[in-house]
Copies of this chain bind each other. A is one copy, B any other.
Amino acid sequence: MLEALLYPESIAVIGASKSPGKVGYAVLDNLIKAGFKGPLIPVNPTADEVLGLPCYKDVRDAGVKVDHSIIVVPNKAVLAAVEASVAAGAKAVTVITAGFKEVGAEGAAMEREVAEYCRKRGVRMLGPNCLGLLNTENSMNASFAAQFPKPGSISVLSQSGALCTAILDWSEGRGVGLAKLLSIGNKADLCETDLLECLADDDQTRVIVAYLESIASGPEFIKVAEAVSAKKPVVVLKAGTTAAGGKAASSHTGSLAGADIAYGAAFKRAGVVRAENFEALFDYAQAFATQPLPKGDRIVVITNAGGPGIMAADAVETLGMKMEPLSPEVAEHVKKNLAAAASVANPVDVLGDAPPEKYAMALEAVLADPKTDGVVVILTPQAMSDPDATADAIIKAASACDKPVLACFMGGSNVLGARAKFVAGGVPDYTSPERAVAAMKAMVGYSAWRNRPPRIVTRFPVNRHRVERVLARQARSNRKEMGEVEAKEILKAYDFNVLPGGLARTAEEAVAIAERAGYPVAMKIVSPDILHKSDMGGVKLNLSKPSEVMDAFDLMMLRISRKAPGALLRGVYVEKMGKPGREVILGMHRDPQFGPMLMFGLGGIFVEVMKDVSFYLAPLTKSEAMEMLKQTRSYALLRGARGQAGVDLDVIAGALQRISQLVTDFPQIEEMDINPFIVGEAGNLPVVADARMIISGVE
């Protein structure tokens, strides 16, 4: 895929320039200097020759089939340049030129026109407004960045061109090679998902690193990233995480779900490894690029210094991995081969004067221990230390096994040689124990995702027609807020339990419904204009005889019409009182980017004050639904804490799965809360005590 983009046979530079300092000069110069093997065709109507190459007025004049055009002409001339390129055979164009969508409406229109042109002709475009692209496999530097990295197995996608220059400069300074680097610019045609797919199939690429500020299509991203992550790790730094969510929300679920939570949920689903900051991006990438994945989370730390060993152990525990003791026979072997003062607990302290052989002995023994899943090796440069030879020994031991080894050589001057050896030898080396351990954690998390059970989404038998009817009626009412009566009708159709009851328009009807449902009953005002019923005195509970029901009806209608004079009062909902139980809230909020996101939380203050809720993207499997429960701090309460029985967790998980099915079936349900959903001990029927929905497409 995208052969012409990354492996063109020939490249035209449209807007090539003779003036050093111009982008059109830099691009051609970079292509020449990096050593691209195929024909290079500079195009510029005012020159016959640029940088020693014959230059053409029009790309079509070159008499050579052009695979890929790099376009650096002014924005208004870009469309013509693309047209000429396509006529000359180009299957890919990279538009470096800026001045499009990012500068306003006029630019956006030009950009759409160019993208549309490409789309119609099956030509793929990178950019506009980008730095260009680099491929170390065919020595192609089709960018205006002067630095060209050595070949490596990390590929980079970046929505910030400036960040690409910083990455290239880092790569040169650190000596870490790259495979491909693509500056994705305005993403008028090729976006992150296209390029992820492309790099997934690229043999040179072992890990994909991406810096993203936005995602073109949430669902597409999840689908593609999940497929790509199944082949190789994708490490993403998503910037703009604290920006306020895209739209105001009117449900609990909506108000608790920020954009960053949605990105987190999407990355989790798709197996994307999230980097918390810029340094983590390449810390993780280097681990993935060179080391095998750990099979578990039992980490051993080997060190020649107590302090840094403690720092590493702290980090392992803080990040939720395990510092397990060595197997007794391994511990004995290591102990026997070290000085008496050495420790073979985990961390293994080989002592300050440990020569390379002691490191090698300890590392080899620990790697052979079936109780070890990964190793972090720390060195501080002490008087007797030989950092270079120790690095060699670590590289040798790491290469000979299928468990990840990460090094942490602390210091500066004295470990420079060792650092270079590590880069060359394919063992990542970190400047602090905490960074090494964080990289190990990224690998452990990705490995667990790779080995996750298959995702099987249950389809429950439901009554879709009934929901369609309720939604159609709601649409005719022209109100986006759907009250309890209709929301419960919809939920009944998806097999939720609702207590017997009905809408009463008169006191007599109220009594009739109560008699039918059975006492005691609850009564709640029904009005599209009143959202917080209890605040208005619109809720009465535990009414146990006809006279109480009549009194409650009349008083409610009288008082509420006084308090809220304009409100439309449709009547009072009369319902049998449910058995008491644990109140939970189940919700759904449709993220503008990633679609329906389910929420779970313990009801009342747990949601409103403690914000102790969890989110997952629909569609939801049973194990994901269970995971949602476990992720709340109040999970212990559900399972049954001191003196209180636990509730039926399966019914909550089932309810979340049915909501997942409902909101997947009916995209017009914009938001919903079941609040509270009342659950009892296992075997009891759970009940929807109240529910609301927001429907899209109506005011």
Cα distance A145–B380 in the bound complex, in angstroms: 12
> In the complex, are the beta carbons of B380 and A163 less than 8 A apart?
yes
Extra contacts besides A158-B307, A165-B382, A610-B634 (16): CB < 8 Å? A23-B383, A145-B383, A147-B413, A160-B306, A160-B307, A162-B380, A165-B381, A168-B411, A169-B381, A173-B412, A211-B307, A213-B306, A242-B313, A535-B643, A608-B642, A609-B636
User: Which of B166, B239, B535, B643 contacts A534, CB < 8 Å?
Assistant: B643
Closest residue on chain B to residue A175 by CB atoms: B412
> In the complex, are the beta carbons of A634 and B612 less than 8 A apart?
no
Cα distance A414–B166 in the bound complex, in angstroms: 9
> In the complex, are the beta carbons of A277 and B432 less than 8 A apart?
yes
Q: Say whether A361 faces chain B, with CB atoms less than 8 Å apart.
A: no
Residues of B within 8 A of A531 (CB): none
Interface of chain A residues 303 through 336 with chain B (CB within 8 A): 304-308, 310-311, 313-315, 317-318
> In the complex, are the beta carbons of A314 and B239 less than 8 A apart?
yes
> In the complex, are the beta carbons of A308 and B412 less than 8 A apart?
no
Q: Say whether A53 faces chain B, with CB atoms less than 8 Å apart.
A: no
Closest residue on chain B to residue A351 by CB atoms: B162
Cα distance A311–B279 in the bound complex, in angstroms: 11
> In the complex, are the beta carbons of B605 and A305 less than 8 A apart?
no
Interface string of A135-161 (1 = CB under 8 A from B): 000000000111100000000001111
Q: Say whether A648 faces chain B, with CB atoms less than 8 Å apart.
A: no
Cα distance A384–B22 in the bound complex, in angstroms: 10
Closest residue on chain B to residue A174 by CB atoms: B412
Cα distance A481–B579 in the bound complex, in angstroms: 40
Q: Say whether A172 faces chain B, with CB atoms less than 8 Å apart.
A: yes
Q: List 21 A-B contacts (CB under 8 A).
A: A147-B414, A158-B307, A160-B307, A160-B308, A161-B352, A163-B410, A166-B381, A166-B411, A169-B410, A173-B411, A173-B416, A239-B310, A240-B314, A242-B318, A277-B315, A278-B434, A279-B431, A279-B435, A605-B637, A610-B610, A610-B612
Q: How far apart are A56's CB and chain B's nearest CB, in angstroms?
A: 25
Interface string of A404-423 (1 = CB under 8 A from B): 00000011111110000000
Q: How far apart are A188's CB and chain B's nearest CB, in angstroms?
A: 18
Interface string of A504-546 (1 = CB under 8 A from B): 0000000000000000000000000000001100000000000
Cα distance A521–B277 in the bound complex, in angstroms: 59
> In the complex, are the beta carbons of A412 and B171 less than 8 A apart?
yes
Cα distance A211–B634 in the bound complex, in angstroms: 37
> In the complex, are the beta carbons of A159 and B278 less than 8 A apart?
no
User: Which of B159, B305, B314 contacts A163, CB < 8 Å?
Assistant: B305
Interface of chain A residues 162 through 201 with chain B (CB within 8 A): 162-163, 165-174
Q: How far apart are A603's CB and chain B's nearest CB, in angstroms?
A: 13
Interface of chain A residues 615 through 671 with chain B (CB within 8 A): 633-634, 636-637, 641-643
Residues of B within 8 A of A23 (CB): 383
Q: Say whether A26 faces chain B, with CB atoms less than 8 Å apart.
A: yes
Q: Say whether A558 faces chain B, with CB atoms less than 8 Å apart.
A: no
Closest residue on chain B to residue A341 by CB atoms: B103
Q: Say whether A469 faces chain B, with CB atoms less than 8 Å apart.
A: no
Closest residue on chain B to residue A610 by CB atoms: B633
Residues of B within 8 A of A382 (CB): 162, 165
Q: Say whether A75 faces chain B, with CB atoms less than 8 Å apart.
A: no
> In the complex, are the beta carbons of A314 and B241 less than 8 A apart?
yes
Q: Say whether A396 faces chain B, with CB atoms less than 8 Å apart.
A: no
Chain A contact patch, size range: 35 or more
Cα distance A305–B183 in the bound complex, in angstroms: 13
Cα distance A173–B414 in the bound complex, in angstroms: 8
Q: Say whether A601 faces chain B, with CB atoms less than 8 Å apart.
A: no
> In the complex, are the beta carbons of A159 and B314 less than 8 A apart?
no
Greatest chain B CB density within 10 A among A162, A169, A239 is at: A162
Considering the complex of A and B, which 5 residue pairs feature the smallest CB-CB distances, nearest first?
A173-B412, A162-B305, A160-B307, A169-B411, A166-B410
- With contacts A26-B383, A352-B162, A609-B636 taken as known, whether A169 is within 8 angstroms of B314 at the C-beta atoms is no
Q: Say whether A433 faces chain B, with CB atoms less than 8 Å apart.
A: yes
Residues of B within 8 A of A611 (CB): 633
User: Which of B278, B412, B610 contacts A311, CB < 8 Å?
Assistant: B278
Q: How far apart are A602's CB and chain B's nearest CB, in angstroms?
A: 9
Cα distance A412–B167 in the bound complex, in angstroms: 8
Q: How far apart are A546's CB and chain B's nearest CB, in angstroms?
A: 30
User: Which of B165, B310, B633 contacts A240, CB < 8 Å?
Assistant: B310
Residues of B within 8 A of A277 (CB): 311, 315, 432-435
Cα distance A431–B432 in the bound complex, in angstroms: 14
Cα distance A610–B167 in the bound complex, in angstroms: 43
Residues of B within 8 A of A160 (CB): 305-308
Residues of B within 8 A of A317 (CB): 242
Residues of B within 8 A of A314 (CB): 239-242
Interface string of A534-562 (1 = CB under 8 A from B): 11000000000000000000000000000
Closest residue on chain B to residue A638 by CB atoms: B609
> In the complex, are the beta carbons of B173 and A278 less than 8 A apart?
no
